[in-house]
Structure 1
Amino acid sequence: MKLVVQVKLLPTPDQASALLATLHACNRAATWIAQVAFEQNTKDRNGLQKLVYAEVKATFGLSAQPTVRVIKKVVDTYAALAAAVKARRLGPSSCQRHRKAVSSPVGFRPHAAQPFDDRCLSWQFRARTVSIWTVEGRMKGVKYTGSADQLNTLSRCRRGESDLVQRDGKWYLIATCETPEPEVYAPSDWIGVDRGIVNLATTSEGTNYQGRRLTRYRRWQARKRAELQRKQTRSATRRLARRSEQEHRHATHMNHRISKEIVSVAQRTGRGIAVEELDGIRDRVRLHGDQRGIHSSWPFHQLGAHLAYKACQAGVPFLEVDARHTSQRCPRCGHTERANRLDRDRFVCRRCGLAGPADHVAGVNVRNRARSAWAFVTMPVPSAA
């Protein structure tokens, strides 16, 4: 399986200046290439490289291999945009967001990440240094650091490209690593996980990971953010950026903790993990104005991603099942009706009278659907007569 490992670079002031000039040059070139690709309607790598290769080398001061990587970055960006349009993640064609995305060339921020392959970047794992190409020449002996687990994974499993990133004045390398996948065992049963806003996760066993603390924290952050935005000073802008990073790290930490505990329970008991498939939920759900901020910052997708990759690392089976009516269907008699859900917290079946917390009922329905899906997948194929 593929993982990314982020290590922190420790450049000297002169090295940091060279890295910054490199990022700026690469992203200026990428913006120009993206404009040519848009005007010429050439988005394939070979065709675009024939159009721009010589001029990029002459104009932006890039050598051969970095020029190729910048062109590839532009091609990948347009491919990602086309995939987003096809999957309707930008809304219908009449949507302003959709029209804006397809009617102009993509642009790259001066500090946007830049990928480097093994010709442009080499690692010296024992010395904990890297040698990296810059616009000022090859720069050797740039130190890096990270946790013991990160450094061990990096030295054993690094493959492919590494991205140079500047964030809040600090430098990072994000490397792709390929680790062997453990064999996935046949589950004895499933743990259904219902994700939500008030309760971040509720399992079919009734374990509830409440999000009230996170909600209070985010409301407090929103109030502080509004106060700083009203000031409109440089200091307020810097503090806003720091608060945004703090909030993101806080939510990520909670999702890591919840997913780690669920995967640990599943592995210890020999069960699999099932979650609802929530792709496109932002387009399906209509919210009041005061709910949009909470919904847009809802970390359910990140929680699902953490569950998926931690389960894969541990060899735990992982399934996504149909999310329709999981909170309105009775797991005992199968009766499905909107009126079964009395309010956000309570479920009472109108036919058989089964009652309980609505999120717990949804988790049980997710588990039951995983049982059915797994039984269908593992059903023996009848032999031909």
Structure 2
Amino acid sequence: MFKLAKKIIDRASFLQAQVVLESNGGRGDGLAFPGAPRPFSAHLYEKLAQILQYKLIEVGLPAPIFLSGIGLNSTCPRCGASTQKNRLTREMFACIKCGYATEARFVGGYNLAKRPQQYAINRVPIYLQKNTDGSCFCFNKILEFSCVVPSDEEKSAILYQLSLMIRSQDDDWYDGKKYAMLCKLRSAENLQDAVRWVKVRKK
């Protein structure tokens, strides 16, 4: 693992690049083919991640960021269509929507490299519902997050409650949407930059 970590660090140093890793132990999107060997077990992948976390900092590079692996190997790098039907075979990727085709081994890495930009664009929605007493009910059903603050202007209080929820959540990567949202929030340097506020009326 240390030899592989050194190769990654040397490459990142040469390119002055940010290292990006899957946050679910390299399990990707769970897409598998009969007889296909896994290059790493989840345990070894996590060990590699631990080594990179401190070795990158030692050479003056930022620590790796951890992003969701959901859809990495089945999402089209060109048009964004995500379906397991895009994987014709273990070796071949062909998008059923736009026709883009390439060797499957390139797709996951390319999508992972693009994901930080997508995270910056696609922020996690936090819904704000004003109560009759002036207080505000804040929620996101996918995250199973909710709290009540004195008013919808109390963004710092909402973010604090959200940060507590993030720290208390386990990595349930089987729930794809929830897992992806948690990864977005955890990878953000500033939590406020990872959310968007959506005002809704009380029914």
TM-score by length of 1: 0.28
Which structure has more helix as a fraction of its residues? 1
Structure with bigger gyration radius: 1
TM-score by length of 2: 0.49
